[in-house]
Amino acid sequence: MAVAAIAVGVALGFAIHLINAAAFNEFSSAVKSLSGQADVQITGTEPTFDEAVYPLLAQLPEVAVASPVLEFAASLPDGRAPLKIVALDVFRAGFITPDLMGTPASADPADVLADDALFLSPAAQQWLGVQPGATVAFQVGTQPLPLRFVGGLQRARVGQRLGVMDIGAAQWRFGRVGQLSRVDLKLRDGVDRNAFQAALQARLQREHPGRFRVAQPNDADQESRNSNLSRAYRVNLSVLALVALFTGAFLVFSTQALSVMRRRSQFALLRVLGLERGRLLRQVLLEGLALGLVGALAGIAAGYGIAAAALHFFGGDLGAGYFAGVQPTVQFTPIGALVYFTLGVGVALLGCAAPAWEAARATPAVALKSGAGEVALARLAPAWPALACIAVAAALTQAPPVFELPLFGYLAIALLLIGGIALMPRIAALAFRTLHRWWQAATRTRPAAPAVPALTLARLANASGQAGVALGGVLSSFSLMVAMAIMVASFRVSVDNWILQVLPADLYARTAAGGATAGLTPREQEAIRAAPGIARAEFMRLASVSLAPQRPNVVLMARDLDPAHPERTVVLVGAAAVRPAGNLLPPAWVSEAMADLYRIKPGDTLPLPLRGAPRPFFVAGIWRDYARSTGAVQITRDDYRRLTGDADVSDAALWLAKGVTVGDAQAALKRLPFGAALDITAPTAIRALSLKIFDRSFAVTYLLEAIAIVIGLFGVAATFSAQTLARAKEFGMLRHVGVTRGQVLGILALEGGALTALGIGTGFALGWAISLVLVHVVNPQSFHWTMEMHYPWPLLGAVAGALLLAAMLTALVAGRQALSGGPIRAVREDW
């Protein structure tokens, strides 16, 4: 079982490493393919900027070719996800991004420049289910836009959903005349790219402050931007996968400790016959090494198979959606395999170190005596090392993240586990001695007290070291399972409560499930307000802005909210900022993630790039947002419209008049001239969909949690089997003094139940402490949001019951095997 636990831990860790590496590499390659052979790229702090800068860049003497590019997510009707479209100047793009050049399916070369022509990657063709010559319907505002699928993008990455158009046609058809997303520059031979980049950045900053960014494709900022998008999720998955390996360390420790105790007299005899202490130490360590080698090798092979199967059947995003649109294939990484192989072997040696040291240091004369097993565990009695681990863990919970990862939080969890397990002998001694004294006092006046409870409690009270070892695997697996279950339940319930708070309206309407091309004009907004049965309507405009080149864009939400009472619309966290006298800046409310990532606090001034210039806002407060881990900021729609001139919206929240049913309101909205383009949803449906997405995102976490439970059950079985088999002489002596076979089995079942019950109680307390670290340290430092504690009592009770039953049954089965040899053979070594 120890080998199996090590193999499972290595397999899960290595598989998740391979999946994440393959998905991230493919995602980065897909991003790089869009840049082609560009030396320098000019982008904006907003999704688009004025194309007037393009001729200025094209005429620079250092520039050989300047290729204008317009990128956007084109909305699709019927609730489908948007399609990314890249619009190019084919006469320029061929020199820089030849992989994005479409190949017409017909013999008519004019399709390349046709105003309704669309080229699709193979993945997009398959996703849309179209053949060359078919029509693909997009949505611009509330109106349909049909485009002809005229050919494919044969050089697109596998799984990359992409469409390509002529840039002039895309600007006209999608209402983006005069706008660009970036300009790719190919420099002349001999031009220093770094010097050119610095000079151009300085010039653009001087002429257009805060509007443009100049970078080299695939530079450190771009790599960091891609990595930051999913790094916390990937690291947390890897840590969860290593939970099984961590549990395996304690299983190795418990099985090896009990094995060494069982063979103390054999080792002592070898020492008397001349075996050196160092050779005995190496022998026991080699046993642990053998366990680690077998488990690690099996884990590496299984991990590769798991990764290949997961990528084939489920893709590389593991349910979280970070790597949607790519189709990675598993690649064996020798360095990663070596790291996880070393972890597996190291865990086995670490678990075997203490038993090996004890076997080598034992005094032969003492070890030759029967019943000296408890003496070997006397060194586990001091409580100060365990208390020191717990104290250091408490201090580490106050440490800040390292590289935006909760490394000290993870270390605190490990120290809590080590400290809790190291305290088990003391806890077991205190609990069972107290219970034994109570039983003696309760049965003192009874002439025929039951023998089984008396013998069981007497043994547990006087063999607390062995009890502590036996409980190591139970405590580690159950406490980690409790901690993960509480963390996931807390997150899910907090998300559910948050959804109920942020969806106060009776109905919600939008023109498409996503994308940047659908929306409602002011006239259509007024038509919705005036629709029969609608008492009140609030609208929202979604956009994105870039505040740092190395981070993903921040979502900008312009909403109809009351600055005097923002709590009616958003879930505020903490106190609102007090506006200084004379501060007339427009207010903004930043999400918890944005406050952490950009070091923003209430009362600060936040510059937001709007309409080509940084506009200062007063940070009025921080709000909770579980939907966007990269950050979001809310401003009033009046301020957004005043600063940008953009009066369109993307979403509407609708309150119904008294007595109007949801069905009547939906019918009235559908009767509007643009009603067919509206996607109208009730809050209950949005809540159900959101929780479904949550469960899909945490599917891997649920799987890892289930594996931890299974390992815990096997750990209980392995621990109690080893302990029972190690006590064959004790059972033989009991049989000699008149204890029946049935009574011995009763003692074993009661011991298994009592030990496991103590392990469950202590494990819950330890798991609760670890869950506090997960909820209040690891989660905020990883994903930058807070949540309340919630406890999944039915799940915890079911797992506790399964562990208790497994321990009792295992003790009985192992006891039958230990008693099968007869009482004479059991004590033959003591003749």
Statement: the pTM of the whole predicted model exceeds 0.75: yes
459 shares its domain with 597 = no
For 383-398, write each residue's pLDDT tens digit: 888 999 999 999 999 9
What gap in Å lies between CA 634 and CA 618, rounded to an integer?
A: 11
Our measurement of the distance from residue 557's CA atom to the centroid of its chain's CA atoms, rounded to an integer in Å, reads 26
- Strands 143-152 vs 117-120: parallel, antiparallel or unpaired: parallel
Residues 521 and 614 in one domain: yes
CA 727, CA 188: separation in Å to the nearest integer? 82
Tokens found for residue 46: 């907003």
Judge contact between 682 and 669, C-beta under 8 A. no
Of 226, 233, 450, nearest to 326 by C-alpha is: 226
Nearest to 490 by CA among 702, 693, 786, 689: 786
The answer to whether residue 155 sits within a structural domain is yes
Mean pLDDT of 793-798: 91
For the chain, the distance separating the N- and C-terminal CA atoms, rounded to the nearest angstrom, is: 34
Does 212 share its domain with 254? Answer: no
> What's the CA gap between 370 and 830, in Å, rounded?
7
Residues 439 and 485 in one domain: yes
Q: How much is the mean pLDDT over the chain?
A: 86
**221 found inside a domain:** no
| Secondary-structure percent of the chain, ordered helix, strand, coil, rounded to 5 | 55, 15, 25
Same domain, 245 and 200: no
Number of C-beta neighbours around residue 590 at 10 A? 27
Q: For residue 829, is it within any domain? A: yes
Residue 278 burial by Cβ neighbours in a 10 Å radius (0-12, 13-18, 19+): exposed
Last residue of a domain, one of 659, 681, 703: 681
The domain boundary residue, chosen from 655, 681, 707? 681
Four-residue CA torsion sign, 659, 665, 667, 671: positive
Per-residue pLDDT tens over the stretch 215-246: 988 665 666 666 666 677 777 777 777 776 77
- Sign of the alpha-carbon torsion through 462, 466, 471, 472: positive
Sign of the alpha-carbon torsion through 362, 366, 372, 378: negative
- Cα dihedral sign, 616-618-619-620: negative
The pLDDT, as a whole number, for residue 368 is 64
Q: Is residue 392 part of a domain?
A: no
- pLDDT of res. 831: 47
Element (H, E) at 80: none
In a domain, 166, yes or no: yes
| Chain segment 52-100, per-residue pLDDT in tens | 999 999 999 999 999 999 999 999 988 788 999 999 999 999 899 988 9
CB atoms within 10 A of CB 6: 32
Tokens 């330890």 belong to residue: 766
Shared-domain flag, residues 327 and 239: yes
In this predicted structure, the answer to whether residue 515 has a pLDDT above a threshold of 80 is no
Region 763-782 average pLDDT: 93
Number of domains observed in the structure of the chain: 4
In a domain, 396, yes or no: no
Which of the two residues, 819 and 410, has the higher pLDDT score?
A: 410
Longest dimension (CA), the chain: 108
Alpha carbon of 230 to those of 224, 225, 311, 352, 400: distances in Å?
A: 10, 10, 17, 36, 20
Give residue 381's pLDDT band: very low, low, confident or very high (50, 70, 90).
low
pLDDT band of 449, cuts 50, 70, 90: confident
478 and 454 both lie in a single domain? yes
Instruction: List the structure tokens of 309.
Output: 């199967």
Closest C-alpha to 46, from 644, 661, 761, 666: 644
Q: CA distances (Å), 727 to each of 731, 740, 746, 755, in order?
A: 6, 16, 15, 16
In the prediction, which pLDDT does 370 show? 55
User: What's the whole-number mean pLDDT along residues 669-694?
Assistant: 90
Task: Give the CA distances from residue 732 to residues 174, 377, 728, 816, in Å, rounded to whole numbers and listed in that order.
Answer: 87, 23, 6, 12
Does some domain include residue 830?
yes
Does 334 lie in the same domain as 291? yes
Instruction: Identify whether residues 664 and 583 lie together within a single domain.
Output: yes
How many degrees, rounded to 5, is the angle at CA 671 between CA 670 and CA 675? 45
- Same domain (yes/no): 196, 56: yes
Q: Give the other-Cβ count within 10 Å of 786's Cβ.
A: 15
Domain of residue 16 covers 1-36+231-376
Which candidate, 771, 789, 761, places its Cα nearest to that of 705? 771
**Tens of pLDDT along 24-64?**
787 777 777 788 889 999 999 999 999 999 999 999 999 99
Query: Is 274 among the domain residues?
Result: yes
DSSP letters, 544-576, are: EE-S-TTSPPEEEEEE---TT-GGGTS-EESPP
Query: What does the pLDDT look like over 113-153, one tens digit per residue?
Result: 899 999 999 999 999 999 988 999 999 999 999 999 999 99
Same domain, yes or no: 602 and 698: no
Structure tokens at 598: 């950009």
Q: Of the residues 636, 666, 681, which one is the last residue of a structural domain?
A: 681
Please check whether residues 294 and 412 belong to one and the same domain: no
Q: CB of 574 within 8 A of CB of 551? A: no
Q: Has residue 359 got a pLDDT over 80?
A: no
